[in-house]
Amino acid sequence: MQSCKVAKTLTLFVVICLISSPLSVSQTKKPAVRLKVDPYNYDRELNAFLSSCNLYTIIKGRRYFIDYLLRGAVSIPEPLVDPTERYVFYASNIGCTYEAGGITVFVSDVYGKAKLPILGSCLYLRPVKFLTFQRKNYLLITGQSESPKRDFWLYDVSGGKFVLHADGEIREIGKELYSYGYYEGDSFKEIGKVTIGTLIKRRAPLRLLRRYPTHGLTQESDVRVYARNCVSRPPVMSRIKQFQGEGRRW
């Protein structure tokens, strides 16, 4: 009898826990978003794709087409999903335009319904990682070329704007602590140490650059684009037409 009472007590305790548990939280939790490319030709050392490919998201087992990533003279950096799982940031070699000579960074919703170019450069742009400061997420984008020149950007994901563009680069050396400097030849020369707060507030010793890149509409429909020495002329024209009128703020 005593064992039966104990069993009933434990059963009642389990039922009460299940009833009082916040099941609605798990039901309303944002779905996990995974990225997939087809075909798969990935270099782990470079963290980049070595050929043009289709980019998809996988949400609850369903596949959503995001974009066709073009590989030009350089490989395609690995795309990233932001911590809120609302946006996908990716880069593509769209070819030569007046404002974007090489790689362009795009942002898309995870379902591929709306996408927008946010940064174009003749340097090799790479979406690197997300930094969090005061409960806001910022995307770190680096730019580099065959020369020692380096620069980096911070993009406010929720605000849809760039908050920083600085010369040089940062290297993580501790929790929310970075070594900031630039290259002299093959050697990295540290200027000083910075925190995420230093970056967001654009304080010394940062060497600041313009933080208002060209984005949105690049050419009117009646302007011809000369794609000399470019590997992807048709995608350039289609990309420009695709973003006609999409100069809205993200």
CB 141 within 8 A of CB 128: yes
Q: Which residues contact 157 (CB under 8 A, 6 or more apart)?
A: 82, 84, 87, 130, 136, 137, 138, 139
Structural domain includes residue 19: no
User: Beta partners for 175?
Assistant: none
Structural domain includes residue 201: yes
Which pLDDT value is given to residue 214?
A: 52
Q: Is the pLDDT of residue 21 over 90?
A: no
Structural domain includes residue 250: no
Structural domain includes residue 22: no
Structural domain includes residue 7: no
Q: Is the pLDDT of residue 186 over 90?
A: no
Burial of 24 (0-12, 13-18, 19+ CB in 10 A): exposed
The mean per-residue pLDDT over the stretch 205-221 comes to 67
Q: Is the pLDDT of residue 218 over 50?
A: no
Structural domain includes residue 51: yes
Structural domain includes residue 131: yes
Which pLDDT value is given to residue 30?
A: 56
Q: Is the pLDDT of residue 194 over 80?
A: yes
Q: Which domain holds residue 200?
A: 30-242
Q: Judging by DSSP bridges, how do beta strands 150-156 and 136-144 pair with one another?
A: antiparallel
Number of domain units in the chain: 1
Structural domain includes residue 42: yes
Give tens-digit pLDDT for 224-246. 444 333 333 333 333 434 443 34
Q: What is the value of pTM for the model shown?
A: 0.73
Across 130-147, b (16+ Cβ under 10 Å) vs e yields bbebeeebbbbbbbbeee
